[in-house]
Amino acid sequence: MKALGLSGTSKQYIAYLAILNLGFFIFHSYYIIYLRANGLSYTDIGVIYAAYFIALAILNLVAGNFADRHGRKKAIIIGGMINVVGFLVYGLSSSFELFLLAELILAGSAALIGGTVEAWLVDALKERKRPAEAARTFPLNSSVSNILGIVGGVIGSVLAAIALNLPMLAAAAFVGLATVIAFLLFQENFGERAHLFSQLIKQSFAHFRHSPALKNLTYAEMCRNSAVVVYLIIYQPYMVTVGLGEEYLGVFFSLLMISTAAGNLSSMVLADRIGRHRLLALSCVVLFASFILQPLVHDFALSGLLFAMSGFTNGLALPTVMTWRNSLIPSRIRASTLAILSSLTNLAIAAMSLGLGPVIDSSSLQAAMYVGAILAILAVPFYFRARRRSDQEVEGLREGSASI
């Protein structure tokens, strides 16, 4: 990090998200298997996923406004406290109804933290006259977090060998620690404080409507993220069906984190070298190929390699999208606009999740892979459309900022 010349602000951001994501990785290392072990069908899991993303889509609008008006640090801390409660409910429950309640609690947490911590970093760096640093911080943070996912997978495996609910309880502890870090280290910053909720939302929607680049980038992300969720839902049960022992799922999760971290680091070089739109389109084509090839192989080593490709492409995309979309949003409505974009993406994922569960229960995991393949390839043309207007809009935002 010293060689990259990162400020203390970026280091605080990376430290916070490293610990927070470590908790999430421990949780997710046995998430689907945990639900299946408690008697849930794939349709049940689809309903839980859909409920989470619908709630997140609704709550995002309020949370983004809260963060802009009342403080990004405050929103992050409240979100962390709510997250701890959600993980505890998960770890101490065994029924569909309580799992559903836990997902709704976690949606409230994700709404407060998601785009808010991203907005906090971008504007904190702007205040310190280091705005370009975000482009280096996003991929480095993602790679550090995903490398810690290796640790998360190992911890998950050890704890799950004792009891399947222990990863959920451990996740609560790590999220609590991350929240303490934010409380102690983060400096508060704000967006537009003078305007009411309705005014901010109106401004954010107006900005979205009048930004062809932002609209097309969001449509692409609706498709790509839905395809990634297909991958996340099916990889654990599919690896078990092709011969991987359940006790090794945590270790395999660690391998997926290595591939995702490699994608994060590669994006730092490739995004500038070949262009953001081409890199994102390429990531979707590779994800498409992984889904198409997966049903043709029945060896857990080859299947694992294909899922690792999916993780790698997601690693390429995440920091690239974060840098691109922030360049298209003015600071004063950053958290609110990011919340709207997240809401649209989450509604698309919710619709996909509701349909995917019955598809798997009535057909097979392979059928779900074809759904993922279609979603991945649909994203490609939207990235190229976004590119056509992107430079012009970024320059307009710069001129607008300079005139204020």
In the chain, where the domains are located: 10-403
Please, are residues 217 and 383 in contact by the beta-carbon 8 Å criterion?
Answer: yes
- Res 396: pLDDT: 62
* pLDDT band at 376; cut points 50, 70, 90: very high
Q: What is the mean predicted confidence (pLDDT) over 114-118?
A: 85
- Res 404: pLDDT: 33
SS3 337: helix
Residue 217 CA to residue 286 CA, distance in Å, equals 18
SS3 120: helix
Query: 2 or 245: whose pLDDT is higher?
Result: 245
Q: Over 70: is that where the pLDDT of 184 sits?
A: yes
Q: What is the mean predicted confidence (pLDDT) over 321-337?
A: 84
- Res 47: pLDDT: 93
Query: 402 or 193: whose pLDDT is higher?
Result: 193
**CA 296 from centroid of its chain's CA atoms:** 29
* pLDDT band at 336; cut points 50, 70, 90: confident
Distances (CA, A) of 373 to 52, 171, 294, 364: 23, 31, 10, 15
* pLDDT band at 195; cut points 50, 70, 90: low
Which of 298, 318, 309, 300 is CA-nearest to residue 256?
A: 309
Count CB neighbours of 295 within 10 A.
Answer: 17
Residue 251 CA to residue 157 CA, distance in Å, equals 7
SS3 56: helix
| SS3 track for 135-179 | HHHHHHHHHHHHHHHHHHHHHHHHHHHHCCCHHHHHHHHHHHHHH
Which of 48, 29, 145, 65 is CA-nearest to residue 105?
A: 48
**DSSP-assigned letters across all residues of 270-315:** HHHHH-HHHHHHHHHHHHHHHHHHGGG---HHHHHHHHHHHHHHHH
Residue 400 CA to residue 404 CA, distance in Å, equals 7
DSSP at 1: -
For the chain, the straight-line distance linking the first and the last C-alpha, in angstroms and rounded, comes to 34
CATH superfamily entry for domain 10-403: MFS general substrate transporter like domains (1.20.1250.20)
The predicted-structure confidence for 242-265, as pLDDT tens digits, reads as follows 888 887 888 888 888 889 888 888
The predicted-structure confidence for 226-247, as pLDDT tens digits, reads as follows 999 999 899 989 998 888 888 7
Q: What percent of the chain has pLDDT over 90?
A: 48
Q: What is the mean predicted confidence (pLDDT) over 271-284?
A: 93
Count CB neighbours of 188 within 10 A.
Answer: 12
* pLDDT band at 389; cut points 50, 70, 90: confident
- Res 399: pLDDT: 53
Query: 293 or 326: whose pLDDT is higher?
Result: 293
* pLDDT band at 402; cut points 50, 70, 90: very low
Q: What is the mean predicted confidence (pLDDT) over 326-339?
A: 82
* pLDDT band at 157; cut points 50, 70, 90: confident
Please, are residues 239 and 249 in contact by the beta-carbon 8 Å criterion?
Answer: yes
Least reliable range by pLDDT among 35-39, 257-261, 393-397: 393-397
Query: 138 or 398: whose pLDDT is higher?
Result: 138
- Res 300: pLDDT: 84
Q: Over 50: is that where the pLDDT of 403 sits?
A: no
Please, are residues 37 and 167 in contact by the beta-carbon 8 Å criterion?
Answer: no
- Res 110: pLDDT: 92
Which of 235, 360, 362 is CA-nearest to residue 304?
A: 235
Report the predicted TM-score, pTM, of the whole model to 2 decimal places.
0.76
Q: What percent of the chain has pLDDT over 70?
A: 94
Q: Over 80: is that where the pLDDT of 181 sits?
A: yes
Q: Over 60: is that where the pLDDT of 171 sits?
A: yes
Please, what is the Cα angle at 111 between 108 and 117, to 5 degrees?
A: 130
Do you know the residue count of the chain?
Answer: 404
**DSSP-assigned letters across all residues of 90-113:** HHT--SHHHHHHHHHHHHHHHHHH
